[in-house]
Amino acid sequence: MSCSNSPFPEPSHIRAITLDLDDTLWPVWPTIHKAEAHLLAWLQVHAPRAAAHWQQPGVPQALRAAVEAAHPDRLHDLSFLRKQTIAQVLQAAGEDVALAEPAFAEFFAVRQQVEPYPEVEEALRRLAARWPLIALSNGNAQVMQMPVGRYFHSALGAREAGVAKPDARIFAQAARQAGCALQEIMHVGDDPLLDVDGARQAGMHVAWINREGAHWPLVTAVPRQFRELTALADALLGRQD
């Protein structure tokens, strides 16, 4: 399915494609929940008072909010925020704050165990045969270390960029990685504001991955949208590539 009020570029006008990761190539929340459960199990062994405190209603949310309020300049760095939140729960429970590093490592390892949507690998293979693909994410998934990483030219995260989508600077950095102008790049993502409008305002072509068939929620022009990545590859390459 694809429909739009916006023009779609000729494939010959595209020199590179940037792709969001979480909820574009894989569902993120099942992995986050699994990583958080693993972290809690680790804390129950190594810092049981912290584990008990963590399970109190509202505690994780309150600690995360406090960390974000204390570090407004680091909101783009999800790894930093997660590690600091773990340190806060350890401190509040009277545990060794030095355990924040190994605790985060446990969380982070499981956070990388994503399960791409069924069509993703084949669609990436098709797209990568024609264009350099650059991962562009606000999250901290290490796509270049995953099996699908072989289809990517490079990856840029908000932590490395110093800013997060929809800030135009992260799209500009991706364009420099690609070695081409913003108007020669298509950005593909699931988030209407962070991905679609952010990239569009930066000067990129855009494609909205709308797996749930949601209505376009913004007042800006409806972009070309696709229920999954194969449909995008078909639109750009045709079915006989």
Burial class (CB in 10 A: 0-12, 13-18, 19+), 19: buried
**Where do we find the tokens 């991706």?**
174
Question: Does 201 share its domain with 98?
Answer: no
pLDDT attached to residue 212 = 96
The answer to whether residue 128 sits within a structural domain is yes
- Quote the longest CA-to-CA distance of the chain: 62
pLDDT at 131: 98
- For residues 49 and 133, membership in a common domain is answered with no
Please say which residue of 111, 144, 174 terminates a domain. Answer: 111
In the chain, the N- to C-terminal Cα span, in Å, equals 19
* Residue where one domain finishes, among candidates 89, 111, 133: 111
Is 102 a domain residue?
Answer: yes
136 and 229 housed in the same domain? yes
Sheet holding 185-189, edge to edge: 154-157, 133-137, 16-19, 185-189, 205-209, 225-226
Q: Does residue 153 share a domain with residue 71? A: no
Q: What is the pLDDT of residue 1?
A: 46
Q: Which value, to the nearest 10 degrees, does the dihedral of the CA atoms of residues 184, 235, 168, 29 take?
A: -150
Q: Are residues 172 and 54 in the same domain?
A: no
CATH of the domain at 100: 1.20.120.1600
Q: What is the pLDDT of residue 185?
A: 98
Pair (185, 80) in one structural domain:
no
| 20 tagged catalytic | yes
Residues 199 and 137 in one domain: yes
Residues 173 and 220 in one domain: yes
Q: Three-state SS string across the chain, please?
A: CCCCCCCCCCHHHCCEEEECCECCCECHHHHHHHHHHHHHHHHHHHCHHHHHHHCCCCHHHHHHHHHHHHCHHHCCCHHHHHHHHHHHHHHHCCCCHHHHHHHHHHHHHHHCCCCCCCCHHHHHHHHHCCCCEEEEECCCCCHHHCHHHHHCCEEEEHHHHCCCCCCHHHHHHHHHHHCCCHHHEEEEECCHHHHHHHHHHHCCEEEEECCCCCCCCCCCCCCCEECCHHHHHHHHHCCCC
Token representation of residue 114: 């994503």
Per-residue model confidence (pLDDT) at position 2: 47
For residue 72, tell me if it sits in a domain.
Answer: yes
- Is position 6 within any domain? no
Please indicate, yes or no, if residue 5 is contained in any of the structural domains: no
Query: Token pair for residue 27?
Result: 């569902």
Residues 37 and 153 in one domain: no
Rounded Cα gap, residues 203 and 87, in angstroms: 40
Please identify, among 59, 94, 111, the residue that sits at the C-terminal boundary of a domain.
Answer: 111
Same domain for 175 and 88, yes or no, is: no
Instruction: Tell me: do 121 and 205 sit in the same domain.
Output: yes
Residues 48, 237: Cα–Cα separation, whole Å = 54
Tokens of 222: 């409806």
Note whether residue 98 is domain-resident: yes
CATH number of the structural domain spanning residue 162 = 3.40.50.1000
Within a domain: 57: yes
Q: Which class for 219: exposed (0-12), middle (13-18), buried (19 or more C-beta within 10 A)?
A: exposed
What does the DSSP 8-state code read for residue 26?
B
Catalytic residue (choose from 20, 22, 167, 197): 20
Q: Give the pLDDT score at 9.
A: 85
CB atoms within 10 A of CB 145: 9
Which domain covers residue 87, as residue numbers? Answer: 29-111
Residue 1 lies in a domain: no
Q: How do the pLDDT tens digits run along the chain, 241 residues long?
A: 444 556 678 899 999 999 999 999 999 999 999 999 999 999 999 999 999 999 999 999 999 999 999 999 999 999 999 999 999 999 999 999 999 999 999 999 999 999 999 999 999 999 999 999 999 999 999 999 999 999 999 999 999 999 999 999 999 999 999 999 999 999 999 999 999 999 999 999 999 999 999 999 999 999 999 999 999 999 999 865 5
- Structural domains counted in the chain: 2
> Is the same domain home to 224 and 139?
yes
